[in-house]
Amino acid sequence: MSVWNWLAVGGAAVLALVAVAEIRRRTGTGSSGRRFFRHPSAAPALFVLAFFVTVALAAPLVTPYRPYVQIDITRLANHAPSTQFPLGTDPFGRDVWSRLVYGARISLGIGALAMLVAVTTGVVVGGVAGYFRRWVDATLMRLVDVGLAMPRVFMLLMVVALWDHVPLTVLVLLIGLTGWFGTSRLVRAEVLSVREREFVAAARALGAEPARVILRHVLPNAAAPIIVSAALGIGNVMLLEAGLSFLGLGVPSPAPSWGNMIADGWPKMAVAWWASTFPGLAISLVVMALNAVGDALRDALDPRKETA
């Protein structure tokens, strides 16, 4: 790793720190912002997330190698961490740090995208169920019951087994489409309670369309639990992706994802522990940060604590 790479990493850390400080400055004046940052782990967690996102975006700057490059497989496989290879090399002679950074793009990207799919679906289904009630609601909620009864991993395994080749985009879509059940229940409950309030009735009396009413009035009220469940959900998706990739059913090698990096390093774990350990640590760290942010958000956005 060159001096420039190290400087870039340092720059990314500084940038992440500045970002957290800026967020804190902007939101610290509001009561929910104050409650968020009162969590001792909220600011460090935000920093971890900001750092990984920055580094992933600036991947070519902070890494010495392309993620696929097998530097010198005969002599540089399973090389221990050193100044040249800060996290060592894997059994295929690739730089673990470089793969970790490019893997962040894939793993974080999958987490965010799949969660986006899940949240969107959940909001739409929950909103529709809660707004139209009657048989629409009954049907959709029975569907959710069924969805919640099927363990996600087994469903995904089944699909992977049935179709010979599942492209990554389809997999992301599938992960998203098996993850909206909880969100939809949440949104439905919120919609049911919000629609009883006067201002929704007033809006309808003024002739607003149902969809418009939901978008304008119900969603802002339901936003808090959705955001919290999304923050916690990204972590779940990342763990799921890691598990599938570890089994060789997720992101296909040689594209780096944190899950398949663990899988690649696993057979040589006894001689080269670093190849599997660092990506695992990275997942744990990011998921922990997401969980901490989710916890802090839950307290910050809880309307019951508004007055306290």
Q: What is the number of other CB atoms lying within 10 angstroms of the CB of residue 22? A: 11
Minimum CB distance to another protein smaller for 220 or for 248: 248
Interface with another protein (CB under 8 A), residue from 199, 202, 284, 306: 284
Question: Which DSSP symbol is given to 267?
Answer: G
**Pair of tokens at residue 199:** 């201002």
Interface with another protein (CB under 8 A), residue from 23, 61, 159, 173: 159
Interface with another protein (CB under 8 A), residue from 242, 251, 293, 296: 242
Contact 16, 54 (CB under 8 A): yes
Cα–Cα distance measured from residue 8 to residue 17, given in angstroms and rounded to the nearest whole number: 14
Interface with another protein (CB under 8 A), residue from 36, 52, 246, 274: 246
Determine, following the binding rule CB under 8 A, whether residue 112 of this chain makes contact with another protein: no
Cα–Cα distance measured from residue 238 to residue 213, given in angstroms and rounded to the nearest whole number: 34
Q: Cα 203 from chain centroid?
A: 36
Binding range to another protein, per CB under 8 A, among 61-69, 133-141, 198-206, 242-250? 242-250
Q: Nearest approach, Cβ of 200 to another protein (angstroms)? A: 31
**Pair of tokens at residue 271:** 């001689």
Determine, following the binding rule CB under 8 A, whether residue 252 of this chain makes contact with another protein: no
Minimum CB distance to another protein smaller for 30 or for 220: 30
Determine, following the binding rule CB under 8 A, whether residue 63 of this chain makes contact with another protein: no
165 φψ region: left (φ > 0), alpha (ψ -120 to 50), beta (else): beta
Binding range to another protein, per CB under 8 A, among 18-26, 47-55, 206-214, 244-252? 244-252
Helix 3-27 crosses helix 31-38 at what angle (to 10 degrees)?
A: 130
Binding range to another protein, per CB under 8 A, among 8-16, 71-79, 87-95, 144-152? 144-152
Q: Which residue, among 151, 149, 147, 156, has the nearest Cα to 175 in the 3D structure?
A: 156
Contact 52, 46 (CB under 8 A): no
What does the binding site for another protein look like in residue numbers (CB under 8 A)? 34, 40-41, 142, 145-146, 149-155, 157-165, 235, 239, 242-243, 246-249, 259, 262, 266, 269-270, 273, 276-277, 280, 283-285, 287-288, 290-292, 308
